[in-house]
Structure 1
Amino acid sequence: MQGKNKDINRRKFVGNTVKIVTLGSLLMPLVEACGNKKSSNKGNAGSDTTKGKISKNRSKKLPRKKWSHESLVMNNKTQVVHFPTSRVYTYYDPIKPNHLQEISLATWSSQMEEPVRFNREQSGNIIEILTLHQLKGEINDTSLIVAIDTLSTAFTEEYEKANSKNFRLHELMLQLIALNNAIPADQKWTTFTAKVKNPPQLRKRQDWMATETKFTERINYITQRRNDYIARLNERAAKYSFT
């Protein structure tokens, strides 16, 4: 009886062993597949990190290059006139050499016909330079008249909005009119208002434009210090003297 039980147990043991071996052979490919998947994921994570770093580096802005040109120029592609001098600008959007056309300071006004126009945003600086350039030789009634006509361009309909708060240009026009002996004292206010339209709102430094009385007070102040103001204009004109 005991021998018979031993045979039965032996057969069960062998049967169970066969089942375990068979099951193991079936599970091994699955285990290996899972292991390979984990390894693959680890590799991809490293790759994504590297790509992220590269993308981040590429997104950083490169330092802006300095560019200037010491003359009045026109972008002949856009028909826009610029004066990108380093005496005013540290940085200026460059114009491609094949689009850059220099304009003579002696004949620039004859070239300002539609569709040619000044860069509106920079028109105040451009026209101020051109105005002071008219005074580089000698400040007298003749050069002051030319300078007044040049400066009045900043207050035309095309550029008025861009320069309505530019008190420096208003002050320059005031000085040019005040120092011009060819304009009688009783006509200086009408000359100014004919050239310059008052902004909708005057800033503190433009308060002298509010009335003829305040304007005349400023005119008298300048004429009483005529030599000082002429010396200052000479200095500014020398700074923007271009050949």
Structure 2
Amino acid sequence: MKNLFLTILLAFAFSACEKREPKYRIDGKSYCQQIFDERDNQITHFKNWELIENFYVSPDNKKMLVYHRPDKSPAFLITLYDLQSGKVVAECEPGWACFGVRWTKDYLIYTWATTGGGERFDYMDYKNLNLEKEINGPCFYEDPEDDILIGYAENVALSVDFYEYSTGKEIKSVSVTEDFERENDHVHITRSVSDVTKVGKRKYKIEVCCFVDGKEDEDLFKTFIVEV
């Protein structure tokens, strides 16, 4: 019995170690910062005075994307590393400030702010970081669990657009103005999506507020339930 208990304990400890995610850090001299893993293996080999703004590791711990800027360079770069081979896969100059990275089977999704105050999802090829497709919008609701990305505008909203999260493929576009326009013909209407909420599997509640000229004190609210 004692040997059995010891075997189970060792198996549990081994399993825990196997599942533990490796940790990475930015370290080194002030003028020569690099990224290291927890065993002090050096991942990056930047020149002096490189600014490492952030880095992102894929869920399978096989890839790392680093957002950085070389000394005296006016632009940031993103560099994709293969953590198994320790080699650089690809490097390119991205758009504006990095909001984050999403990892799907077929695409690395780089997200960044646009000049108009919205957000952009860039779907990039893992082999070379070539831009395969892009989705722009003022606001997004992300549901990676059900593979859904929802784009909408909080102000002057005309429709709510649904995409496959993993591929960027558009699934459907739902109008949020038709009923209001039928009820208030020839009247200027400002639409505003106030909230998007998940209420079931691939099922979402869209709350819309309309401001109608001449009825400023009567905000009109409507709720849409959309199944994808």
Query: Quick check: which one's strand share is greater?
Result: 2
Q: Choose between structure 1 and 2: higher helix proportion.
A: 1
TM-score by length of 2: 0.29
